[in-house]
C-alpha cells in the first residue's frame, strides 16, 4: 500500500470519525432531558419584566399571572395535532378564547383543538389569569396526535392584595406537583 493511499485512507477515517462524533452530539441534544414535562407559572410585573417559576401553584394575579405546561416530545421540529382540555373546579366569570377553543356552557371546561409547533423537541402552552377566574383546582389533559400525553394539575390561589412580588413556589397548594406524563401506547404487532 503506497504512502499516498495510506494518507488518503487515514484522512477518510478521520473525517468519518468526526462525522460520527458530530452525529452523536446532535443526537444527544435530541435525547430526552431529565425534566421531561413541567407545569409553570409566569408573573409579569408593572415594569414589564417577567419571572418564570416551575410550579403548579397559580397566584390569581389579574392580568399579571399566566400558567401552563411544557412537555418533551423529542424528534424533529414539526407541527402536531393538539387537543388540550382545561377543567376548573368552579366556573369562570368570563373566558377569553379563540375560535379553536370550545367553552362549556357552565364555563368550567375549555377544549382547544389545533395544530401546534414542536420546536427543539418541546411543546408548550399557557393561559393567563383574567378578572373572574376562580380559585381552586385547574387541570389540563393533553392529547397529541390522538395519544393521551399528559395531565397537569394546578391550584389557583386568591391574592386579595394582588402583590406581584409573590413567589408562587412558596404558596400552599394541596396538589403540589401532581403532574403526570402519559407515554404514547406502544405499537402492537399485526395479528398472524
Mind listing the pLDDT tens digit for each residue in 67-111?
A: 999 999 999 999 999 999 999 999 999 888 889 999 999 999 999
In this predicted structure, the answer to whether residue 21 has a pLDDT above a threshold of 80 is no
Long-range pairs of 141-147 with CB within 8 A, sequence gap ≥ 24: 141/84, 141/85, 141/87, 142/69, 142/71, 142/82, 142/83, 142/84, 143/82, 143/83, 143/84, 144/73, 144/80, 144/81, 144/82, 145/80, 145/81, 146/81, 147/182, 147/184, 147/185
Mean pLDDT along residues 106-131: 95
Percent of the chain with pLDDT over 70: 72
Strands 180-181 and 65-72 turn out to be unpaired
In this predicted structure, the answer to whether residue 145 has a pLDDT above a threshold of 60 is yes
In this predicted structure, the answer to whether residue 168 has a pLDDT above a threshold of 70 is yes
What ranges do the domains of the chain cover? Answer: 1-31, 35-181
Query: What is the pLDDT at residue 95?
Result: 86
User: 35-181: which CATH number, 2.30.40.10, 3.30.70.890, 2.60.40.1930, 3.40.50.1980?
Assistant: 2.60.40.1930
Mean per-residue pLDDT over the chain, rounded: 81
Residue 158 pLDDT class (50, 70, 90 cuts): very high
Query: What is the pLDDT at residue 23?
Result: 42
Region of poorest pLDDT, from 9-23, 26-40, 54-68, 175-189: 9-23
Query: What is the pLDDT at residue 166?
Result: 95
Amino acid at each position: 500500500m503506497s504512502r499516498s493511499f495510506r494518507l488518503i485512507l487515514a484522512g477518510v477515517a478521520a473525517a468519518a470519525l468526526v462525522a460520527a462524533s458530530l452525529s452523536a452530539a446532535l443526537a444527544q441534544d435530541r435525547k430526552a432531558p431529565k425534566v421531561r414535562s413541567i407545569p409553570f407559572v409566569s408573573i409579569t410585573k408593572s415594569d414589564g419584566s417577567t419571572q418564570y417559576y416551575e410550579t403548579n401553584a397559580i397566584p390569581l394575579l389579574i392580568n399579571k399571572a399566566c400558567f401552563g405546561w411544557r412537555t418533551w416530545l423529542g424528534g424533529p421540529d414539526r407541527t402536531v395535532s393538539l387537543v388540550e382540555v382545561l377543567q376548573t373546579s368552579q366556573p369562570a366569570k368570563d373566558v377569553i378564547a379563540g375560535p379553536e377553543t370550545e367553552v362549556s356552557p357552565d364555563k368550567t371546561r375549555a377544549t382547544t383543538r389545533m395544530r401546534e409547533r414542536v420546536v427543539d423537541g418541546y411543546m408548550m402552552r399557557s393561559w393567563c389569569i383574567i378578572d373572574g377566574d376562580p380559585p381552586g383546582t385547574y387541570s389540563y389533559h393533553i392529547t397529541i396526535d390522538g395519544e393521551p400525553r399528559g395531565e397537569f394539575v394546578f391550584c389557583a390561589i386568591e391574592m386579595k392584595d394582588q402583590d406581584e412580588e409573590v413567589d408562587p413556589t412558596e404558596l400552599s397548594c394541596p396538589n403540589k406537583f401532581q403532574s403526570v406524563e402519559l407515554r404514547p401506547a406502544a405499537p402492537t404487532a399485526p395479528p398472524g
